[in-house]
Structure 1
Amino acid sequence: MATASSVVFTRVGLRRGNRAAIPLLIGLMPFALVVGVVSQGKGLSLLETLLMSALVYAGSSQLLALELWADPAPILAACLAAFAVNIRMAPMGAALAPWMDKLRGWRLWGTLGTIVDHSFALGVADIRSGGKDAGYLMGIGVVLWTAWILLVGVGHVMGGLVRLPPGHPLFFAATATFVALLVTLWRGLARDLWPWATAALVAVAALRLGLPQPVPLLAGALSGAALAAWRERRTP
């Protein structure tokens, strides 16, 4: 693993990140299109949709906020829901500390502003393999951020032409992408599966009990994190 003193930020790393992000666009595309379609269906203008996508830049939060959208808009409820979904970014930042602690200025804030689950998974995998070029992480993030805005815009424009029925396979694209990303995070240790399984079971149980969003998501995340922390403390 790269030590803090050996971390660099180069154009070579940025370009390597750009290339690594290209395959991720396959999973990003249907997710972004769905967000655009839903935004159009909720009455948001194209400009409003693009601004939300650029500034919020969190597909799960955007979809959850749109599900809560009404007239008048429930600002507090939407903000709380987005906070609950995005609280996972805190431990992500801690896991990326070997790189983040050495960055300053636009390199730090540009990287933090474009981190998503996809870039986090690839960044952690690179750190674990001994990578030391933090430009790799921002290179992934910039491509995904740009593509997200453009594709959400396309989805909004298409929203008036295409009406997808509930349960359409396109709506499963985001979930499938997130599940696939777990492969890059797994270290080959069976004990790592327990927190994941716990989080999934608790979230599904909360959903089956009829608890409103974002309670199932938050319950699953906190339970999985708590079990992982407890197991780490018990490991010598």
Structure 2
Amino acid sequence: MNMHVVDRVNVASEIRQGLADIAPVLVAMVPIGLLFGAVCTTKGWTTSEVWLMSSLVFSGGAEFAAIGIWTLPVPYLALFVSTVLVSARHVLMGVSLAPKMRAFKGWKLWAAAWFMTDEAWALGEKRARMCSLTVSYWFFMAVPVHLVWFMSTITGSIVGPMLGDPAVIGLDFAFTALFIGLIAGFWQGRLTVWTLVASGSASAVVAMLVGEPWNVLAGAAAGIAAAWFASPADVEKAA
């Protein structure tokens, strides 16, 4: 078979796999985006402002943290600190994923970094365990996240007033449910249990005693510490 034909077949296969892997995440993301848009309307935001937020920030965690503390006058310092704390995890995610993205050169690497989300990172790491992480797979897996988030947040800002209290129909749990599903794909026995218990407990305690967004930093630090101090047997078993 001609090598060009083989390359086209491989690219098509990578595209299909990327779309297939991200599809369940996109379904779960729709109610989260609707929730964010609806919450924005309760803060007095217009649809154009929601559009600008989703386009420029493109970080569900940072956006929820920001809208949660949004008041008038705008607390600029609190917004800055919360965004930095919530988004700091992307540094570790990038360091983890970078060695697996050797095929990404020049603008492709910068574009890949822009489209990196928690969901894309998790699926990219999972894919890299089985085979090479290709450009075709990454972009057709990661870009739809941006498009669905963009469209669902805008829709939420439009229909938000008609939804009423999001908690009544369970939309407030959608964000949590999505991450539970992603964590399940990385289950590694006792090592995962200790990490989840440590990060969850620290986050909950700090949230009650100090408040957001410091619970995010506490949860991340506790989870990293738990994984670091895990017994060698657990680490070897998880490998």
- What letter matches 1:171 in structure 2? D
Q: 1:119 to 1:55 in 2, by over 3 A?
A: same
Number of aligned residue pairs: give it.
Answer: 226
Shift of 1:154: 0.4
Return closer, same or farther for 1:11/1:146 CA change in 2, 3 Å cut-off: same
SS of residue matched to 1:21:
helix
For 1:116 and 1:68, locate their aligned partners in 2 and report how far apart those are by CA, in whole Å.
Answer: 22
Within 5 A, what are the aligned runs for 1:53-202?
Answer: 53-164=54-165, 166=167, 168-186=169-187, 188-202=188-202
**8 Å CA contact retained: 1:36, 1:156:** yes
Change in Cα spacing, 1:100 to 1:131, as seen in structure 2 (3 Å) is: closer
Aligned-pair CA distance for 1:167 = 5.6
For the aligned residue pairs, the C-alpha RMSD in angstroms reads 2.3
Amino acid paired to 1:196: L
- Structure 1 partner of 2:212: 213
| 1:11 Cα deviation from its structure 2 partner | 5.9
Q: Distance in 1 between matches of 2:161 and 2:86?
A: 29
Larger radius of gyration: 2
Tell me, yes or no, if structure 1 residue 226 matches structure 2 residue 228.
no
Q: CA, structure 1 residues 191+160, in 2 after alignment: closer, same or farther (shift >3 Å)? A: closer
* Counterpart for residue 33 of structure 2: 32
Q: Which runs of 5+ in 1 are unaligned?
A: 1-8
Q: Which moved more, 1:49-58 or 1:134-143?
A: 134-143
Q: Report percent identity of matched pairs.
A: 28
Q: 1:232 to 1:108 in 2, by over 3 A?
A: farther
CA contact (8 A) 1:40 1:160 kept: yes
CA displacement at 1:114 relative to structure 2: 1.1
Question: Bigger CA drift: 32-41 or 128-137?
Answer: 128-137
Pair 212,178 (structure 1): closer, same or farther in 2 beyond 3 Å: same
TM-score (ref. length: structure 1): 0.87
Distance 1:16 1:31, change over 3 A: same
In 1, Cα distance between equivalents of 2:135 and 2:76: 36
Summarize the Cα distance change of 1:208–1:72 in structure 2 as closer, same or farther, 3 Å threshold.
closer
Give the C-alpha shift of residue 137 in structure 1.
2.1
Could you list the per-position Cα deviations for residues 111-159 of structure 1 after superposition, in whole angstroms to 9, with x for gaps in the alignment? Answer: 1111111111111111111234243222211101011100100000012
Question: Normalized per residue, which structure has more helix?
Answer: 2
Cα drift, residue 178 of structure 1: 0.4
Distance 1:141 1:201 in 2: 31
CA distance in 1, matches of 2:48, 2:108: 28
What code does the residue aligned with 1:198 have?
Answer: A
CA contact (8 A) 1:195 1:227 kept: yes
Contact 1:36 1:155 in 2 (8 A): yes
In structure 2, C-alpha distance between the alignment counterparts of 1:195 and 1:162, rounded to whole Å: 36
Distance apart, 1:226 and its partner CA:
2.2
* Aligned-partner Cα distance in 1 for 2:36–2:133: 35
CA distance in 1, matches of 2:197, 2:11: 38
CA shift for structure 1 position 190: 2.1
Report the residue type matching 2:199 in the other structure: A
C-alpha separation in 1, matches of 2:44 and 2:200: 33
What residue identity is the alignment partner of 1:151?
S
Q: 1:171 to 1:136 in 2, by over 3 A?
A: same
How far off its partner does 1:90 sit?
1.4
